[in-house]
Amino acid sequence: MSDYLFLIESRLNPEQWQVVLRMQKAAEARGMNLYMVGGAIRDLIGGFPIEDLDFVVEGNALKIVRELSRQKVHIPWQNDSLRAAEMEFPSGVSASVCMARSETYGKPGAPPVIAPATIVSDLKRRDFTINAIGVSLNPQSRGLLLDPTNGLADIEKKELRTLNNYSFLDDPVRIFRAVRFRARLRFSFEPKTATQYQNATESDAQEMASGEAVAHELRRIARERTPVEALKALEKEKLLLVLSPCLRDSRLNLQEIGRASKISHSLAKAGLLAPSFPLFFYLLTRKLPARDQTRLAKWLKLRKPETDLWRRMEANAKRLAKQLGGKAASTPTKLYHLLAAAPADLILFLQLLFPQKKIQARIKLFLQKQLPLRSRLPEQELQEMGVASGTPRYQKILDTHFYAVLEGKVRTRTEQKKFLKSLVQKGK
């Protein structure tokens, strides 16, 4: 019974595992049943990288969300009628939680009638069998696998299978999801699903997808390891035309999106998280006429902070480029302060779209020299010299030492040690 719990614990990173424990504790305190579901379980079993965690509770999930939000967990999105929310934990882990529900569909594209339900009904309302698997996180049955539609077999067979004949018509955004998962996981459509997909797209069901649901998909694509692959697959199926009839050929900015994702991988190695959805949206729509951009943002019902960041992206980047090329970054210390305070997105933006040598060289210095130095502060030596860690004096000495190294005032290891000693003796 506990095999799947073992799998969860061994495949999640320590920060993600802490989130599971935190969710378990919060659900237990309220006597609610908690399950891990969706993409995280699919990726766990299929051996794919696990990005974010999806939870379901039998009961009002928002009670847990409210408590977590009081404990420094950021809630970028919440839906009161679905009792669902997205969460960003201080450790950088992102997760979602919702109330277990059943869904009954009427007209295509129209939202379903929802009702609180058990976990099994909840799993049966999902898009594909591979996404309809859950693992119990409850004291009585922790680690128990719930797989009412035999998604496990489809993971083995590398197939995408819908849960009913009307799945694509009920919720046409699943057409987009099918194409994205097929490209990302390198799965194929199971024959019946392939027919349903063909019938749905031939009757243009994709046009009935709701803007909000498509926006959710775009946010997911922005976080893909290779967003270009997903976009190419959608383009091939002519699905991007639903977003804008102009989003094709040279107006589809795949080249820059591809370069941006390469840069973001190298930024991630330096500990900087980029790109965000607003930057992805900026690049995706960059070559569209302004009118189309605005129309699309409206249809997608982008969240206000997203729209604000997207609209200001270019002006903010220009401002940072100006500072970076001028006096505000004319010394190593100033450069460090400027870029350490800049959002990673804007750094990526400049790397991508501001080829000026000075700008590129300064960013390179920051990423390749300054950040590694910052991560190797002589903390242990300082503690050995008797300065208690965590005190303001401790931090001040570390900072003074760091800036002196940046400015090239102390170069060799011996010089650095001597300088550190002198700072301690001076009582700095």
Judged by the rule CB under 6 A, the positions of this chain that interact with ligand ATP are 38-39, 51-52, 54, 126-127, 131-132, 171, 173-174, 220
Residue 52 CB, shortest distance to Mg ion, in Å, is 5
Q: Tell the smallest beta-carbon distance from residue 50 to ligand ATP (Å).
A: 8
Which residue's CB is nearer to Mg ion, number 52 or number 170?
52
Shortest Cβ distance from residue 162 to Mg ion (Å)?
18
Q: Which is nearer to Mg ion, 40 or 335 (CB)?
A: 40
Listed residue (216, 217, 160) closest to 46, CA to CA: 160
Between 52 and 229, CB nearer to ligand ATP: 52
Residues 249-288 contacting Mg ion, CB under 5 A: none
- Cβ proximity to ligand ATP: between 150 and 330 the closer is 150
Nearer to ligand ATP, 173 or 404 (CB): 173
Pick the closer one to ligand ATP by CB: 82 or 338: 82
The torsion defined by the Cα of 9, 181, 234 and 127, in degrees rounded to 10, comes to: -110
Distance from C-alpha of 5 to C-alpha of 137, rounded to nearest angstrom: 8
Bridge partners of 79, per DSSP, are 84
Type and span of the H or E element at 96: strand 94-99
- Kindly state the tokens that stand for 87: 């969460």
Of 37 and 288, CB closest to ligand ATP: 37
Residues 6+ apart with CB under 8 A from 88: 73, 74, 75, 76, 94
Alpha-carbon distance of 51 to 221, in angstroms, equals: 12
126 interacts with, out of Mg ion, ligand ATP, none, CB within 5 to 8 A per kind: ligand ATP
Considering CB distances under 5 to 8 angstroms, the limit depending on partner class, which of ligand ATP, Mg ion, none binds residue 219?
Answer: none
Q: In the 3-class helix/strand/coil scheme, how is 29-89 assigned residue by residue?
A: HCCCEEEEEHHHHHHHHHCCCCCCEEEEEECCHHHHHHHHHCCCCEEEEEECCCCEEEEEC
Considering the complex, what minimum distance in angstroms separates the CB of residue 132 from ligand ATP? Answer: 6
Please report, as residue ranges, which positions from 42 to 101 form the binding site for Mg ion (by CB under 5 A): 52
Segment 15-44, which members bind Mg ion (CB under 5 A)? 39
Give the residue nearest to ligand ATP (CB). Answer: 39
Number of H-type helices and E-type strands within the chain: 22, 11
Pairwise CA distance, residues 237 & 143, whole Å: 39
The enclosing H or E element of 145 equals strand 145-146
* Among Mg ion, ligand ATP, none, residue 339 binds (CB under 5-8 Å by kind): none
DSSP 161: -
In angstroms, rounded to a whole number, what is the distance separating the alpha carbons of residues 187 and 194?
12
* Smallest separation (angstroms) from ligand ATP to the CB of 19: 15
Tell me the closest approach of the beta carbon of residue 84 to ligand ATP, in angstroms.
Answer: 10
- Minimal distance, residue 97 CB to ligand ATP, in Å: 11
Q: Which does 174 bind (CB under 5 to 8 A by kind): Mg ion, ligand ATP, none?
A: ligand ATP
Q: Which spans of this chain sit near Mg ion (rule: CB under 5 A)?
A: 39, 52
